[in-house]
Amino acid sequence: MTDSYGGYRARLVEALREQGIRDMAVLRAFGETPRHLFVPEALRRRAYDDAALPIGHGQTISQPSTQAQYLGALDLQGRERVLEVGTGSGYQAALLSHLVPRVVSVECVRELAEQAMAALAAAGVQNVLVIAGDGSLGWRPEAPYDAVLVSAASPAVPEPLLHQLAEGGKLVVPIQRGSTQELVRVVRRGDTFAHDHLGEAHFVPLRGRHGFPQGEA
């Protein structure tokens, strides 16, 4: 990726490294993904800050260090089929596109889904399918998934996403508990699902059938 933002990108990678992100493939993905194409034009100056930024429709592009933590929790090996719930800007999907061969990403706000598709195309990403719809239901046509990331806080782990996990598959989802959120990882072994907790999270609420009704949370 050669553009005038290369120096900023290198600094972002350095900042992530200083925060303890060690996964080389993840760091490389941040070095190769043009985040400025995924933020509104007026905010491009700040595109490589380690900060969440508004993307319209009351939504945000998540903080890079949070996304790096997420990717680390999935421990991707490079062969997985991945489902993302909450495309938002499309940036996380673009990062994933460097790490795995296939990404399906579902976004419930149609305008954001369309914006994300345009940004992904501008970034030259070809292995991400963006669907406009309710991602709390997953996306059956391409299931099962080796990894599922939910980029919005949910009242509980959405059932359909568990059913769409492959054997040994991992799901990462922020769960809302009162006024705080906790990042939870679920690993599937046959019909059992092992949970572990990865610390605090800060995400916008999940909507849709298995999310929060509009106006709540």
Looking at the Cβ atoms of 152 and 201, the one nearer to ligand SAH is 152
Residue 139 binds ligand SAH (CB under 6 A): no
CB of 189 to ligand SAH, least distance (A): 27
Residues of span 85-104 touching ligand SAH by CB under 6 A: 85-86, 88-89, 91-92
Q: What string of DSSP letters covers 15-70?
A: HHHHTT---HHHHHHHHHS-GGGGS-GGGGGGTTSSS-EEEETTEEEPPHHHHHHH
35 binds ligand SAH, rule: CB under 6 A:
no
The catalytically annotated residue of 4, 62, 89, 154 is: 62
| Catalytic residue flag (residue 89) | no
Tell me the C-alpha distance between 133 and 93, whole Å.
Answer: 16
Detail the DSSP E strand segments found in 81-164: 81-85, 102-107, 128-132, 145-150
Of all residues in the shown chain, the one whose CB is closest to ligand SAH is 86
User: Is 176 a residue that touches ligand SAH (CB under 6 A)?
Assistant: no
How many residues are listed for the chain in this entry? Answer: 217
Q: Is 211 in the site for ligand SAH (CB under 6 A)?
A: yes
Nearer to ligand SAH by Cβ, of 190 and 215: the residue is 215
Spell out, one character per residue from 108 to 127, where the chain touches ligand SAH: x when CB under 6 A holds, - when not.
xx--x---------------
Which of 64, 135, 138, 169 touches ligand SAH by CB under 6 A? 135
Residues 6 or more apart whose Cβ sits within 8 Å of residue 168: 146, 187, 188, 189
Contact at 8 Å (CB) between 54 and 40?
yes
Q: Tell me the CA end-to-end span of the chain in Å, nearest whole number.
A: 39
CA dihedral sign, ordered 12, 57, 202, 98:
negative
In whole angstroms, the minimum distance from the beta carbon of 83 to ligand SAH comes to 11
Applying CB under 6 A, does 34 fall inside the site for ligand SAH? no
- For residue 147, give the nearest of 183, 175, 171 by alpha carbon: 171
Of the candidate residues 115, 125, 134, 165, the single one contacting ligand SAH (CB under 6 A): 134
**Site for ligand SAH, rule CB under 6 A:** 59-62, 85-86, 88-89, 91-92, 106-109, 112, 134-136, 151-152, 204, 206-208, 211
Known catalytic residues?
A: 62
